[in-house]
Amino acid sequence: QNGGDRQVRVWCDGCYDMVHFGHANSLRQAKALGDYLIVGVHTDEEITKHKGPPVFTEEERYKMVRGIKWVDEVVEGVPYVTTLQTLDKYDCDFCVHGDDITMTADGVDTYHLVKSADRYKEVQRTAGVSTTDLVGRMLLLTRNHFRQGCSQFLPTTQKIIQFSNGQAPNPGDKIVYVAGAFDLFHVGHLDFLEKAQEQGDYLIVGLHTDPVVNRYKGKNYPIMNLHERVLSVLACKYVSEVVIGAPYKVTKDLMEHFKVAIVVHGQTKVMEDEDGEDPFKYPKEIEKFATLDSGNTMTTEKIVERIIRNRLEF
């Protein structure tokens, strides 16, 4: 709110297929240009018409955008070309997009109408991450990509600060801890984190290092390196804090350090530690462990399978 004045309402729209931290970063910048951010997401039909079928369904894509912490509202099924009528309908002052040109199937700039009405602003696209790049990494079924440093994204502390809430827990807050890979952050993770957050007041997500994830997932996992996974998880509205490179075992030290009241895990299989132990042995012994049902069966592996099945389309 600008000193009692009307709020500045910002509009963004897009496909938001395979939502990554580049999308989140554009929404973060868009939100910073105003007070209230509305994001329009295209239907599967509309995307198929203009650039080919999306990997994720519209329901999955709507949910993912709703999960991003800078988004105030999602409008489902908006047209590919942004019109002034749409901006007016949602009472938005202007539209924001990254500094790349998007075209319709007929080669028309999708933002030509809002550009000529001077209701268009540009933010900087995040270099080093795109759906095309992620698909490329998934199709490389060897470990080479992370041995050779396939990610082109350059992480900085600045970016982490921009993504983080910067909020310590309040005294008396019930702290919930979860740990995992959270690779290619997806709807399954989102549903899980929503349930996890409901268990307390402050949700801490521990992210395993790349070598640890590679040990228990094998092959070319993780697809996203630790820095990228940190940003994807920080962009989620249910997450309060992230541990960058959490130990695989949830130890007494860790639980005391973060004053963890409860450790939760979804219904996915828990891989044992190098010494054969259950990583949740300690919280289970002190009865501070719970299993949650995210109600969602999506996994990183399933995404990779979808991509491989559709590889001819990319």
**Apex 288 CA angle, 287 and 290, nearest 5:** 100
Q: Of 183 and 241, which CB lies nearer to ligand C5P in the complex structure?
A: 183
Q: Which stretch binds ligand CTP (CB under 6 A): 19-27, 160-168, 222-230, 284-292?
A: 19-27
Q: Compose the 23-52 pattern: x for residues touching ligand CTP by CB under 6 A, - for all others.
A: x-xx--------------------------
Give yes or no for residue 129 binding ligand CTP (CB under 6 A). Answer: yes
Q: Of 23 and 249, which CB lies nearer to ligand CTP in the complex structure?
A: 23
Q: Which secondary-structure segment (H or E) carries 13?
A: strand 9-14
Q: Of 153 and 185, which CB lies nearer to ligand C5P in the complex structure?
A: 185
Cβ 38 to ligand C5P shortest distance, Å:
28
Return the structure tokens found at 110: 């999708």
Q: Which does 144 bind (CB under 5 to 8 A by kind): ligand CTP, ligand C5P, none?
A: none
Cβ 28 to ligand C5P shortest distance, Å:
23
Cβ 47 to ligand CTP shortest distance, Å:
9
Longest dimension (CA), the chain: 64
Give yes or no for residue 163 binding ligand CTP (CB under 6 A). Answer: no
Return the structure tokens found at 291: 């299993």
Q: Which does 180 bind (CB under 5 to 8 A by kind): ligand C5P, ligand CTP, none?
A: ligand C5P
Cβ 23 to ligand CTP shortest distance, Å:
4
Return the structure tokens found at 188: 């399954």
DSSP state of 273: P
Q: Which does 100 bind (CB under 5 to 8 A by kind): ligand CTP, ligand C5P, none?
A: ligand CTP
Q: Which does 48 bind (CB under 5 to 8 A by kind): ligand CTP, ligand C5P, none?
A: none
Q: Of 36 and 258, which CB lies nearer to ligand C5P in the complex structure?
A: 258
Residues between 93 and 112 with contacts to ligand CTP, criterion CB under 6 A: 97-98, 100
DSSP 180-193: E--TT--HHHHHHH
Give yes or no for residue 67 binding ligand CTP (CB under 6 A). Answer: no
| Residue 48, beta-bridge partner list | none
Q: Of 78 and 233, which CB lies nearer to ligand C5P in the complex structure?
A: 233
The distance from CA 134 to its chain's CA centroid, rounded to whole angstroms, is 13
Cβ 100 to ligand C5P shortest distance, Å:
30
DSSP 82-139: --HHHHHHTT-SEEEEESS--B-TTS-BTTHHHHHTT-EEEEPPPTT--HHHHHHHHH
Nearest to 48 by CA among 76, 23, 22, 15: 15
Residues that bind ligand C5P (CB under 6 A): 178, 180-183, 188-189, 192, 265-268, 294, 296-299
- Cα separation, 212 vs 279, in Å, equals 12
Give yes or no for residue 131 binding ligand CTP (CB under 6 A). Answer: yes
Q: Of 28 and 208, which CB lies nearer to ligand CTP in the complex structure?
A: 28
Query: Looking at 15, 224, 233, 304, which residue binds ligand CTP (CB under 6 A)?
Result: 15
